[in-house]
Amino acid sequence: MNTLLSVIATGFGLVVALHAGAWLTLSIAALKHPAASRPARRPWPLTVIVPAHNEEGGIAETLRSLAADAYEPRPEIVVVADNCSDATAAIARGHGATTLERFDVARRGKTYALDYGIAAIEHRPLRPDAYVILDADSIVQPGFFAAIAASLDAGAEVVQAEYRVFAAADARTRLRALAFSLVHYARPLGAKRMGLGMGLKGNGLAFRRELVVHGMPGSGITEDAAAALELAQRGVAATFEPGAVVFGRMAPSYAAAAVQDRRWEGGRLSLVPRAFAVAVRALLRGRWKAAGAALDVAALPFTLVGLLAVAGLGIALAGYGFLWLAVADCGLLGVYPFVGWFAARVPAKELCVLFLAPRFFVHKLLVLASLARSGVPRTWERTERGGEV
């Protein structure tokens, strides 16, 4: 029994050390503020595809944001109203977007909608150089398209924009924004500077046409993570572009967030074994960027890593395993967020919402417990959204 506890404590310690050490290293690499991208040397014709399911409340704001971003040649905006029962399609047409309506209740979800939109564009004689994918509840920062084009022009095959949270008054959403600054800015920027690829974050993506001409990679409830692995198997990884910024709304309550988090966390956890296998194969072939993208998908949620750190420390304090390893793990895991927030230039006043961290931690633990009890969700479910610009 004593030996078993020591093995468990050491195992927990190594898992935490690998995650905390890697995250801290990436955040340190991101400390220097990024310089502006060089403008593209030639025009890049872009087509934006916006998959939308019952988004009448926010689609107009998204389309106005896209229209306001000055870029030539003007990107065509294609809205795929997927199994909608509201006025999404009518509002999209009213704002000048090319609007496609799709009805197939047996094949619901983002990937099906994107494939439908791409197939419609590919039947035309003139097609874009790249497809930009944007959620229907998003706002882009001015210069979004120019930054995407610059990254493609510099050789990127897949571009991931910085995905931020809409500014909001409630502390819970501001806490989520702090988490986004680590996962969607500090770590991706560090990976870029270290010559590594990154996973996909689901919003603000651009793919060179040849990568998706026969359909979008990935499927399932976490199609972005599955797509990153499928691309990594081909030796392709996303390049982070901090000059392209997209804002998205978050769920307005813990109950609504639980629906989204079960899908995010459950889907990603189910892909961990496959992600490790893809990473190993990429490393053996010398494909460092692809390996980095696969390992990004394989990374455990911060909450779970924190739970392992606390459990490892408790076992070590009881006299099993290596106390120095458990203490070092807690130290690394505690320092990493502050380095990441410094790299992301998060104002110090925003850190006051950390008083909610224990409540948020409990929320995440309940999500993980629900996954352990009920398994990974099998179908996509729309999440209630909130937030304000």
- Band (pLDDT 50/70/90 cuts) for residue 388 is very low
Task: Give the model confidence (pLDDT) of 30-89 as tens digits.
Answer: 999 998 888 999 999 999 999 999 999 899 999 999 999 999 999 999 999 999 999 999
Give how far the C-alpha of residue 195 lies from the chain's centroid of Cα atoms, to the nearest Å.
19
How confident is the model over 246-275, as a mean pLDDT? Answer: 79
User: Any residues with CB less than 8 A from the CB of 347 and at least 6 apart, and which?
Assistant: none
pLDDT of residue 367: 80
User: What's the CA gap between 267 and 163, in Å, rounded?
Assistant: 19
What is the tens place of the pLDDT at every residue in 139-179?
999 999 999 999 999 999 999 999 999 877 788 888 989 99
Crossing angle (nearest 10°) for helices 288-298 and 254-284:
150
Query: What's the pLDDT at 312?
Result: 94
Mean pLDDT of 108-121: 91
**What amino acid occupies position 226?**
A
Continuous H helices in the chain:
2-29, 59-68, 88-94, 110-122, 144-153, 171-181, 187-193, 209-212, 223-233, 254-284, 288-298, 302-317, 323-343, 357-374
230 compared with 387, residue with greater pLDDT: 230
Average pLDDT over residues 95-102: 95
DSSP-derived secondary structure letter, 202: S
| 152 close to 208: Cβ distance less than 8 angstroms | yes
- Exposure string (b/e) for 28-55, b if CB count within 10 Å is 16 or more? bbbeeeeeebeebeeebbbbbbbbbbbb
Give the pLDDT band (50/70/90) at residue 379: low
Q: Is the link from the previous residue into 73 a cis peptide, with omega within 30 of 0?
A: yes
Quote the pLDDT of residue 387. Answer: 45
pLDDT digits (tens, 9 = 90+) for 14-43: 999 999 999 999 999 999 999 888 899 999
pLDDT for residue 386 is more than 60: no
Amino acid in the structure at residue 164: R
Please give the CATH architecture assigned to the domain spanning 46-251.
Alpha-Beta Complex (3.90)
Closest to 142 (Cα-Cα) out of 213, 247, 233: 247
Residue ranges, comma separated, of all CATH 3.90.550.10 domains in the chain are 46-251
pLDDT of residue 351: 93
Residue 161 in tokens: 């924009």
Tokens standing for residue 362? 């409990």
- Going by DSSP bridges, is the β-strand pair 158-165/238-248 parallel, antiparallel, or unpaired? parallel
- Answer whether residue 273 shows pLDDT above 70: yes
